[in-house]
Amino acid sequence: MTEATKPIAIASDHAGFALKESLKLALARWGVAFEDLGTHSEASTDYPDYAHAVATGVVQGRYRLGVLVCGTGLGMSMAANRHKGVRAAVCTEAYAARMARTHNDANVLCLGSRIVGPGLAEDILKTFLDGSFEGGRHAGRVAKIDA
């Protein structure tokens, strides 16, 4: 399996469940392979459990990228960013998603279902998936994040 054909991982807590489900439809429409790591209902859950599952899979190389959805995206990003090698970015519009990929080599996108609606979230996700790291002057800076 090449890097490009690896699936992405997507997960949410209860607050992000509905948005996760709608983003899965978009991923399927775009032909992007993904694995859903939960949650599978709107029953109350703890967001760090899902953030750690996605972050672990990304760091281990099982997934090309990760997508995490909670109410704000914030708790998910805090938990995911505890993993060395994870660069999780909360994005509320497409410009930040593009910069997160091109400049920061972000490998996990965090979305807040109480902040962005499904249409905007789709745009953000598409931009994130289509982006790629520019390297060059950004490479050394990104390397310093984990230093």
What positions carry a catalytic annotation?
Answer: 70, 103
Q: What CA dihedral angle connects 128, 38, 32 and 64, to 10 degrees?
A: 60
Is residue 47 near ligand RB5 by the rule CB under 6 A?
Answer: yes
Helices of type H across the chain: 17-30, 47-59, 74-80, 94-102, 118-130, 137-145
Say how far residue 109 (Cα) sits from the centre of its chain: 3
Q: Which residues contact 121 (CB under 8 A, 6 or more apart)?
A: 19, 22, 23, 69, 111, 113
Q: What's the min distance (Å) between Cβ of 130 and ligand RB5?
A: 26
Pairing of strands 34-36, 8-12: parallel
Q: Which is nearer to ligand RB5, 66 or 71 (CB)?
A: 71
Is residue 74 near ligand RB5 by the rule CB under 6 A?
Answer: yes
Q: Which is nearer to ligand RB5, 8 or 80 (CB)?
A: 80
Q: Which is nearer to ligand RB5, 23 or 131 (CB)?
A: 23
Q: Which is nearer to ligand RB5, 71 or 131 (CB)?
A: 71
Q: From 31-39, 67-75, 121-129, 134-142, give the range in contact with ligand RB5 by CB under 6 A.
A: 67-75
Is residue 13 near ligand RB5 by the rule CB under 6 A?
Answer: yes
Pairing of strands 88-90, 108-112: parallel
Which tokens is 3 given? 């890097």
Q: What's the min distance (Å) between Cβ of 80 and ligand RB5?
A: 11
Size of the site for ligand RB5 (CB under 6 A): 8
Residues in contact with ligand RB5 by CB under 6 A are 13, 15, 47, 70-72, 74-75
